[in-house]
Structure 1
Amino acid sequence: MFMNKTRHRRIPRPVRHRVALSALTLLAATAIAPAAHAAPAPSVAPAPSAAPASPVTWQPCAEAPDGYPVQCGTMRVPLDWKKPAGERTDVKVARVPARDQAHRIGALFFNPGGPGGQGASMLAYGYADTLFKGPLRDRFDIVSLDPRGTGGSRALDCGPVLDPGQVVLPKNPGEYEEMKRNSRSRGERCLARHGDLVRHVDTASVARDMDAFRAALGEQRLTYLGVSYGTYLGATYAQLFPHRIRAMVLDGPLDHASGATRLMLEEASVMEGEFDRFAVWCARDTACALHGEDAGKVYDRVVARADRTPIPASGAKGKPAVNGDWIRMALPNQLVRIRLLEEAMGFDAWAKLAERLAAADRRNDATGLVEGGSYVGDQESAYTAVSCLDFPPQFTGYADAAARLAQARKTAPRTGAAVEGWVISASCADWPVEPTSPWQPTTVRGAPPILIAANTHDPSTPLAGGRRLQQQIAGSRLLVTDVNGHVSYFNSACARERETAYLISTEMPARLTCPAP
Structure 2
Amino acid sequence: MKVPLDYENTDAGSIDMVVSRTRSTNPPARRGVLIVNQGGPAPHANDTFEIFPRSLTDAYDIISFDQRGFGRSAPVRCQVPASRDTLIPWPQPGGFAEDVSVAKQIARNCVEQGGPVIAHMGTAYVARDMEVLRKALGESKISYLGMSYGSYLGTAYASLFPEHTDRVLLVSVSSPDRMWRGHWQRSLGEGFALRFPDFARHVGQPVDEVYPRLVTLTKQLDRAPLQTPRGVLDGNVLRAAIYAAMYNDGQLPMLASLAHAVAAGDAATAGDMALQLGAWRPTDRAAAMLGVSCSDGDWPRSMSVYQREVHADAVRYPLFAGAGSNVWPCAFWPYPVDERVRANPRGPQNILIINNVRDPSTPLANAQELRAAFGDRARLVTVEQGGHNAYLYSPNVCANDAGTAFLLGATAHDKNCVEIDNGTTGAAGVGDRQGRVVDGHHAGPW
| CA-to-aligned-CA distance 1:382-412 (integer Å, 9 cap, x gap) | 1122111114542522x32233223323433
Is 1:99 the counterpart of 2:16? The answer is no
Distance 1:168 1:204, change over 3 A: closer
Distance 1:260 1:106, change over 3 A: closer
Inter-partner Cα distance in structure 2 for 1:414 and 1:516: 32
| One of 119, 122, 138 as aligned partner of 2:58 | 138
Is 1:414 the counterpart of 2:319? The answer is yes
Other structure's SS at 1:312 match: strand
Alignment of 1:380-395 (within 5 A): 380=285, 381-395=287-301
Distance 1:196 1:462, change over 3 A: same
Inter-partner Cα distance in structure 2 for 1:134 and 1:512: 25
- Which residue is 2:158 aligned to? 238
Inter-partner Cα distance in structure 2 for 1:355 and 1:391: 39
Other structure's SS at 1:326 match: helix
- Which residue is 2:310 aligned to? 405
Q: Deviation of residue 175 (structure 1)?
A: 3.9
| One of 343, 353, 362 as aligned partner of 1:452 | 353
Inter-partner Cα distance in structure 1 for 2:91 and 2:338: 27
Other structure's SS at 1:119 match: coil
Tell me, yes or no, if the aligned pair for 1:162 and 1:427 is still in contact at 8 Å. no
Distance 1:202 1:168, change over 3 A: closer
Distance 1:217 1:161, change over 3 A: farther
Structure 1 residue runs of 5 or longer lacking an equivalent are 1-74, 285-293, 340-347
Tell me, yes or no, if the aligned pair for 1:260 and 1:393 is still in contact at 8 Å. no
Q: Deviation of residue 164 (structure 1)?
A: 5.2
Moved over 6 A (4+): none
Higher mean C-alpha deviation, range 136-145 or range 262-271: 262-271
Other structure's SS at 1:129 match: coil
- Which residue is 2:337 aligned to? 435
Alignment of 1:339-418 (within 5 A): 348-362=250-264, 363-365=266-268, 366-367=270-271, 368-369=273-274, 377-378=282-283, 380=285, 381-397=287-303, 399-415=304-320, 417=322
Percent identity over paired residues = 27
Other structure's SS at 1:488 match: coil
How many residue pairs get aligned? The number is: 409
Tell me, yes or no, if the aligned pair for 1:461 and 1:486 is still in contact at 8 Å. yes
Alignment of 1:54-69 (within 5 A): none
Tell me, yes or no, if the aligned pair for 1:98 and 1:104 is still in contact at 8 Å. yes
Tell me, yes or no, if the aligned pair for 1:76 and 1:89 is still in contact at 8 Å. yes
Q: CA RMSD in A?
A: 2.9
Other structure's SS at 1:216 match: helix
Distance 1:163 1:281, change over 3 A: closer
TM-score where L is the length of structure 1: 0.72
Higher relative contact order (CA 8 A, sep 6+): 2
Tell me, yes or no, if the aligned pair for 1:99 and 1:138 is still in contact at 8 Å. yes
Inter-partner Cα distance in structure 2 for 1:447 and 1:117: 29
| CA-to-aligned-CA distance 1:417-467 (integer Å, 9 cap, x gap) | 45xx547x53434233332245x7433422333111222101111111211
- Which residue is 1:493 aligned to? 397
- Which residue is 2:43 aligned to? 118
Structure with greater helix share of residues: 2
Structure 2 residue runs of 5 or longer lacking an equivalent are 421-446
Distance 1:471 1:133, change over 3 A: same
Other structure's SS at 2:10 match: coil
Higher mean C-alpha deviation, range 202-211 or range 364-373: 364-373
Tell me, yes or no, if the aligned pair for 1:271 and 1:415 is still in contact at 8 Å. no
Is 1:214 the counterpart of 2:134? The answer is yes
